[in-house]
């Protein structure tokens, strides 16, 4: 099946209100253009340099989501082009994003990344770290960021019960943060969870954004 056919197939399975981020890492611009010409314009990258180089050559109405671990020294490249940074995992990173968003006269939409998987290799905050970040007095000075929800990655496993448990945990974090810190902020509404192998479970557990690559573009090059 073509990229266009794969895309239509995935979109047909998504309920209304669930956004698809087509993950394009390692795939060249011409492959991304196939999806774009099929009517899709929301794409995700996990490497700063790759996003930057693709941004230069692809249509400017593409909505770019940065979904990988973001190093502070790469923020200056990402803050000017990403519509959303899904992988905020520290206050220092948030401050860096705010600094460069301000320089570029933008408001940077951000998600807090939580570590919900069993693997230690995955990045993200735990509950205590997230609360500490949001309760830090300096966060009120950050006028060029908008925290709009949470993101997480489930364990890479065949155990669907474990995956569901981890997604339930992320949904609970979202709901508790909403009550404690974002009760009057309508823009705090996103739960980014679910990839090619587990997005059906994620949607059942309340995902509003799914990040799908190989089911659209095939295996990574």
- Residue 140: which CATH number? 3.20.20.10
Orientation of helix 29-37 relative to helix 3-12, angle to 10°? 50
DSSP output for the chain: --HHHHHHHHHHTSPTTPEEEEE-TT--HHHHHHHHHTT--EEEES-HHHHHHHHHHS-TT-EEEE-S---GGGHHHHTTT-SEEEEE--HHHHHHHHHHHHHTT--EEEEEEE--SS-TTS--B-HHHHHHHHH-GGGGG-TTEEEEEEEE---SSS-HHHHHHHHHHHHHHHHHHHHHT-TT-TT--EEE---TTTHHHHHHTT-SEEEE-HHHH-S--
pLDDT score recorded for residue 1:
83
Output the average pLDDT for the chain: 96
Domain housing 111: 3-217
Q: Is the pTM of this model over 0.85?
A: yes
pLDDT score, position 219: 77
Query: Beta partners for 146?
Result: 109
Angle between helices 29-37 and 48-57 (to 10 degrees): 60
pLDDT, mean of residues 179-194: 96
For residue 210 the two structure tokens come to 């799914």
- Number of C-beta neighbours around residue 76 at 10 A: 15
Residue 144 exposed, middle or buried by CB count within 10 Å (0-12, 13-18, 19+)? middle
Domain count, the chain: 1
pLDDT at 220: 63
pLDDT of residue 125: 97
Average the pLDDT over 66-79 and give the result: 95
The pLDDT score that the predictor gives to residue 122 is 78
Mean local confidence (pLDDT), 51-72: 96
Residue 23 corresponds to which tokens in the numbers above? Answer: 């993950």
Residue 61 has pLDDT above 80, yes or no: yes
């Amino acid at each position: 099946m073509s990229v266009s056919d794969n895309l239509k197939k995935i979109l047909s399975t998504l309920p209304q209100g669930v956004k698809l981020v087509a993950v394009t890492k390692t795939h060249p611009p011409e492959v991304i253009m196939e999806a774009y010409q099929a009517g899709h314009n929301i794409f995700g990258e996990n490497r700063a340099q790759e996003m930057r180089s693709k941004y230069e050559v692809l249509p400017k109405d593409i909505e770019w989501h940065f979904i990988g671990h973001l190093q502070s020294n790469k923020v200056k490249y990402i803050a000017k082009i990403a519509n959303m940074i899904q992988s905020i995992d520290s206050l220092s990173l948030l401050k860096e994003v705010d600094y460069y968003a301000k320089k570029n006269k933008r408001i940077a939409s951000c998600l807090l990344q939580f570590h919900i998987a069993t693997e230690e290799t995955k990045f993200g905050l735990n509950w205590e770290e997230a609360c500490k970040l949001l309760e830090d007095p300096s966060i009120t000075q950050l006028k060029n960021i908008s925290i709009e929800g949470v993101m997480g990655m489930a364990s890479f496993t065949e155990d669907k019960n474990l995956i569901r448990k981890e997604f339930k945990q992320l949904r609970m974090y979202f709901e508790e943060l909403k009550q404690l810190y974002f009760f009057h902020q309508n823009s705090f509404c996103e739960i980014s969870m679910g990839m090619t192998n587990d997005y059906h479970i994620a949607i059942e557990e309340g995902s509003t954004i799914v990040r799908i690559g190989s089911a659209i573009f095939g295996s990574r090059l």
